[in-house]
Structures are given as C-alpha cells and as structure tokens.
Amino acid sequence: MKVLNIGSMNLDYVYRVDHIVQPGETISSQGMNIFLGGKGINQSIALAKAGAEVYHGGMIGEDGEAFLDACKEYGVHSRYICRIEGKTGHTIIQIDKEAQNCILLYGGANQKLTHEYVDGVLSHFQDGDILLLQNEVNDIAYMVDQAYEKGMQIALNPSPFDDRLREVNMDKISIFLLNEIEGGQITGLTDPEEIFEEMCHRFPKAKIVLTLGKDGAVYGEQGKRYEQPIFPVQAVDTTAAGDTFTGYFLAGLVEGMPIEKILEMSAKASSIAVTREGAVPSIPYRSEVQEALQQ
Ligand code: RIB
C-alpha cells in the first residue's frame, strides 16, 4: 500500500509579535524567520519522519527548490513534484506571546494543478493505495473522483475549509482528519460532541479523527469510539501541530498499529512539534516520539 499526498508547499514568513495586528493598526515585529511549510508537505514529512513511505505531489515555482532538498533530507519521494514558472505558495504568519497564530495564505503554484497533471500522477497508483489531500491546492473534487474511480482510499484533511470543499463528494472519503472548526463547517453544528456524532452518522463507513485542541482528539469507526487526551507542554509555536498529528496518524494506520497506540503516538508527536519553531523543522522523528513516550 503506497501513500500519495498531493498537497501544498508554502514558504512560511513567520513574524513574532506582541499581539496579532488589528484592522487599521501598524505594529513592529520582534523577529522574523522563513520556514518551509504548507499543510501538504508538512504532512508528508510527518509521515516520512514517522517511518512511512510517502510520495508527495504538487507544484512549486522558480523559488521552490528548497522543498526538493527537504524531500531528499527527510526521505519523501519527490518525483511527482512539478516545477512551473511563477511563485511558490507562501504565507505570512503572525505568532503572539501566547503562541497563538494567524495565517495569510498566497496560493501561488499550489493553485495551478491541472487535470492532466493529476491524471498523470494518479496513473502510478492503484486500488488500495492511499491518497491524502488537504484544501490548499486546487481541484480537490476532481482528485477525489479520479482516485475513488481507481479504488484508492482517500484521506481528507479539509483544511482550510472553504466553499470549494462543498463540491467534494464526501461519501467517497475513507478517512477524515479534521478539527472542530472544520467539523462544524461540514455538519453545521457547533458542539464538538454533536459534530463527532453527526460525522460518524453521516459517513458510517469512514474513519473519523476529530481533534479538539486542548481537549485532545476523538476517533470513531463503525460504532467504536476512542479518546486521546493531549500531552500538556509549554507551546512556543503551534504551526503544523495538526499536520504532525495527521502524518503520524496515517503512518500508524499504514503500519497496522492498534488505534489506541496510533492516537497516543500522534498526540505525543504533535505535543513535541508545538515546543519548536516553524512548520517542517518542528516535526519530530519517530525515535524522539518513542523516547518521549517512554519517559
Ligand atoms: O498547517 C500549518 C501550515 O498552514 C503552515 O505551514 C502554513 O504554510 C499553512 O499552510
């Protein structure tokens, strides 16, 4: 079983601020860094660091060479990453004193996927393989339809949620990995428990992973339910915490680990990620996660 992730690659411009800038306000930042990020590549690197074999697809512009280097460094297959003219996606991220962030996204090359490109990449995958998607690239609905036709299992992290996701036939999704905000946007509900129940009811064949911030995560599959609390830590940067959880969760699933162990490993990995700056650089290796779990 192969894992293909067609997802975003962003250069994250990260600014440390006293507070998130308000409308009409100008403030000075206290520091700035450029990190590799993007939900797509963060999740591929988390999968690889967790020990899974993962193929990353997506587009970068002329300024995106560093993503190919990162794939090489972390063991992500990069042969389906396509270089095109123009700019790689980027973000402007503000992080305040409490480690809260806000993210402004510029799609760039991430929004240039074509049907021809998608068909070409999918032709290398088959029945039973996993396609992982987030919502930072274009044409998600098309990718879901094509992958489903091939009999692939589709894992969807519907983040960030927007109207384009309403075009996706969600009955074709095998694994949902979402937070309560995205769950609310899909179900129209606000109470986390009701969101979880409704997701399980609406998608009875799917695996549902609902992350609940400081309340941990809850997992459901065919009437079974598992809960996972967080590992409390002093956060410095929460960027990519969810991506780390997603990558580790899928890696555990591919490996055939018991669900309780997968959830515990994913929560621990994510708790380590928030103690470090940046997206890609914050994602821990499996050995670090295992060591931390033994302490
Ligand atoms: O999930 C974190 C990611 O979201 C960041 O790396 C940023 O690029 C945005 O896409």
Segment 182-235, tens digit of pLDDT: 999 999 999 999 999 999 999 999 999 999 999 999 999 999 999 999 999 999
CB atoms within 10 A of CB 197: 16
CB atoms within 10 A of CB 188: 8
Ligand 1: atom nearest CA of 91 is 8
Query: Distance from the CA of 38 to the center of ligand 1, in angstroms?
Result: 4
Tokens of 126: 């088959």
Confidence of residue 1 (pLDDT cuts 50, 70, 90): confident
Query: Distance from the CA of 196 to the center of ligand 1, in angstroms?
Result: 24
Q: What is the pLDDT of residues 261-278, one digit of tens each?
A: 999 999 999 999 999 999
Query: Distance from the CA of 242 to the center of ligand 1, in angstroms?
Result: 10
Q: What is the pLDDT of residues 228-246, one digit of tens each?
A: 999 999 999 999 999 999 9
d(CA 160, CA 185): 10
Ligand 1 pocket test: which of 12, 88, 159, 243 has the largest number of ligand atoms within 8 Å of its C-beta?
12
Closest residue (by CA) to atom 8 of ligand 1? 38
Q: Exposed (0-12), middle (13-18) or buried (19+): which is 31, by Cβ within 10 Å? A: exposed
The pTM score is 0.97
Ligand 1: atom nearest CA of 280 is 6
Report the half-sphere exposure of 28 (CA within 13 A, side-chain side): 1
The pocket around ligand 1, CB under 6 angstroms, is made up of 8, 10, 12, 37-39, 42, 91, 103, 136, 239-240, 242-243, 279
